[in-house]
Structure 1
């Protein structure tokens, strides 16, 4: 690690440890709170189970009157965890997100297509964009008011310049745009994505479809942004805001780099200090020269594993003319079974090419478009109404008092 980076971390660590000493969770620990970096290295990991057991305010290190927002994670890996932030915490969240390499400008129209309700991701993107003077379109991906057809209309009609979403969402938009007959989005200058591991081939395909660069960010609801992408496509961990370690579950040991599971100590966090928080994401962390000149460590997020990324890489290395955007796979006693959506005229070529790319290690089946992603999901108009109690003759009052 660069000595200047270590100095920055050491300058911030005392305040982080002092904040942790005010947290009921860390005060109750048998070992107390570490006094310095050397003691921190031997301190027990903080786990997701710890956060769940501390629900809702067992991690709170400030008076509740100082809280600005309360959030919960998506719960994709189990019971959701709570997290909370002061206004000062938000200043840091916004600063980290606004480091995005394409910049956020007053001239931007920024479509935010990640969740708002309870989760952090949509709110931090909106706050960062507003802090830089951009116009925000709060599309949300959990709202019935913005199905894919509506999103594509907004992208086109509002001349959206930046988007924030899951990588998969951008492919769904592309399919919805094709059904709507919309092919021209000249204002779009970048697609910002996070929330899923992303192979180079899928990134390239998304960029080719939309004719705009795809820029990754990495983080969590408990921590906010942890890494941002440089112009050379590498994710750099924000090691000036956190100490990162890589945990080897087979040995129980941590190292500064290598392959394993990510552990994070937040250095700028008042409301909910996190010491050696075991996020659990499978990663590869490395220090070394990057063409961009940054001395921050580089992280590769593996998610469910390198094998899944390799499979995704093979799917999206198929020629773009085949039109393959959606796929699924599973292992069974008979081996790997892969389905891809592809039009009849490319069916044989796509199956042949993907089977060859997988070295015969899979049974590949082509299914018609609309099998994996129903056409109705891409073309349905918004169907939303306020609750009603009074209906006229012939009206469907089975919808009374319900939101759609």
Structure 2
């Protein structure tokens, strides 16, 4: 990295919003110079001032821009300088490319490692997100190694790592930290119980669960923490940008505004502001391989600059995700975040962890796993809370455990084989070249 700054900013290098803005502006010119080397930004930046005013004069960069520039139209360095290539997990069909240099990875790993519980050489860190084209597993792995932790690469896209094996690893290796989607931690709890373990007591070395990748309601977060008996520490980011926000000791998500410039796009007006409710736009400041100027993430967020007792002097963010929208039911709009808050607001004694809902034009159908009297009581309570929250007709039903998450998913062990071409007379040779 050829930054004019000798080192990357660290928390504590600024005291207030004015000093933070000055820190951003000191790096912005270099960032825009890097961007001008890429085919995509070259014409956009011709004659543009390398200043905040020059940046805000530019139109946002969209996901479609990245898809249109596939594979290397955003590249601002030589191919020989790249360390990794990635694509996001989006479902739009067309690939969204991202690439990083070795120095870019220093910034990525440092941002992710800003966890208030800390990461050290004493930790055994289970990474339970994809080791694939997405950045998520590689990012946690790099951050853990940066601080000397032992990494257990428990990719959640591999048949070689079923839930039964996750539980065994968590227990037998004395795992202290994990990284996964929030839903994964509930599946682990169910699998642990199926294996005869008690999640809150039989994993004494576990000290925190790092989660991200999907919206997390406060009620579900509290439930996960209660089940495992450890803090749930939230992380927010993307393959295109790396970590964008992390939690402070006060439990609030802060945007890493010393490493990026953030704006909020308001879809109704097209206006971009430093704070407010809208969609997040980000300009990473230390990204040389693939600079992004005013990149529109399309995530629904609430950004505030109202201070925090942690003293970090960074804006806070509440992430609603692209699932922040709702579905119409009768005269109301039902969102997953609001409904999830009701489901996990049920008493813990009811044992509700897995649920699903269908928004029909005139009826909200909800099913959740629960047994006997607890299921009946939970259904009655949830029906009442849905009526109070949304004022829509609902059909709420408890279904037997295993209906939504089958037992074999929690306890099964997959037969993972290597490819071969020679078989005996009684062997299945239809699986010869495809190993799974």
Cα distance in 1 for residues equivalent to 2:113 and 2:143:
6
Q: Distance in 1 between matches of 2:279 and 2:164?
A: 38
User: Which position in structure 2 is the counterpart of 1:286?
Assistant: 304
Counterparts of 1:6-85 in structure 2 under 5 Å? 6-29=21-44, 33-85=48-100
Counterpart CA distance in 2 for 1:364 and 1:321 is: 18
Alpha carbons of structure 1 residues 146 and 109: separation in structure 2 relative to 1, 3 Å: same
TM-superposed deviation, 1:80: 3.1
Q: Does 1:180 align with 2:199?
A: no
| Residue number among 376, 384, 388 corresponding to 2:420 in the alignment | 388
Contact 2:100 2:288 in 1 (8 A): yes
Q: Which of 226, 241, 245 matches 2:244?
A: 226
> 2: CA distance between counterparts of 1:200 and 1:302?
12
- Is the alpha carbon distance of 1:292 and 1:236 closer, same or farther for their aligned partners in structure 2, counting shifts above 3 Å? same
1:217 aligns with 2:235: yes
Q: Equivalent residues in 2 for 1:36-185 (5 A)?
A: 36-183=51-198, 184-185=202-203
Report the 3-state secondary structure (helix = DSSP H, G, I; strand = E; otherwise coil) of the residue aligned with 1:115.
Answer: coil
1:270-328 Cα shifts (integer Å, max 9, x gaps): 00000000000000000012121221000000122273211111100111111111111
2:330 matched residue in structure 1: none
Aligned-residue offset at 1:29: 3.4
Deviates more, 1:252-261 or 1:377-386: 377-386
8 A Cα contact 1:150 1:382, kept in partner: no
Identify the match of residue 244 of structure 1 among 244, 258, 262. Answer: 262
Correspondence list, 1:357-376, <5 A: 357-358=385-386, 359=388, 361=392, 362-376=394-408
Tell me the distance in 1 between the aligned counterparts of 2:336 and 2:343: 11
Query: How much does 1:258 deviate?
Result: 0.7
- For the structure 1 residues 340 and 31, does the alpha-carbon distance in structure 2 shift closer, same or farther, using more than 3 Å as the test? farther
> What secondary structure is seen at the aligned counterpart in 1 of 2:423?
coil
Alpha-carbon distance in 1 for matches of 2:77, 2:124: 36
Indicate the larger mover: 335-344 or 138-147.
Answer: 335-344
CA distance in 2, matches of 1:262, 1:72: 20
Gaps of 5+ in 2: 1-15, 326-334
More moved, 260-269 vs 34-43: 34-43
Q: Secondary structure at the match of 1:187?
A: coil
Structure-2-length-normalised TM-score: 0.90
More off after superposition, 13-22 vs 352-361: 352-361
Aligned to 2:11: none
The 2-side partners of 1:33 and 1:187 are apart by 54
Q: Is the partner of 2:269 in helix, strand or coil?
A: coil
Q: Is the partner of 1:356 in helix, strand or coil? A: helix
User: Is structure 2 residue 285 aligned with structure 1 residue 267?
Assistant: yes
- Distance in 2 between the 1:351 and 1:308 partners? 18
More displaced 10-residue stretch of structure 1: 379-388 or 43-52: 379-388
Residues 220-269 of structure 1: per-residue CA shift (max 9 Å, x gap): 00000000101111100000011100001111111111100000011111
1:36 positional shift: 1.4
Distance 1:241 1:344, change over 3 A: same
In structure 2, C-alpha distance between the alignment counterparts of 1:160 and 1:77, rounded to whole Å: 36
Aligned partners of 1:149 and 1:33: how far apart in 2? Answer: 56
Q: Which residue of 2 aligns with 1:203?
A: 221
Unaligned runs of 5+ in 1: none
CA distance in 2, matches of 1:253, 1:321: 47
Q: Distance in 1 between matches of 2:113 and 2:174?
A: 21
Secondary structure at 1:351 match in 2: helix
Q: Which 10-residue stretch deviates more, 359-368 or 1-10? A: 359-368
Aligned residues: 404
Query: After the TM superposition, which of the residue ranges 58-67 and 366-375 deviates more from structure 2?
Result: 366-375
1:336 alignment partner, one of 364, 367, 378: 364
Contact 1:27 1:33 in 2 (8 A): no
| 8 Å contact kept, 1:26–1:32 | no
Mean alpha-carbon deviation: is it higher for 325-334 or for 247-256?
A: 325-334
TM norm structure 1 = 0.97
User: Structure 1 69/33 Cα, relative in aligned 2: closer, same or farther at 3 Å?
Assistant: farther
The alpha carbon displacement at 1:39 in A equals 2.1
Q: Report the CA distance shift for 1:250/1:135 in structure 2 as closer, same or farther (over 3 A).
A: same
Aligned-residue CA RMSD (Å): 1.4
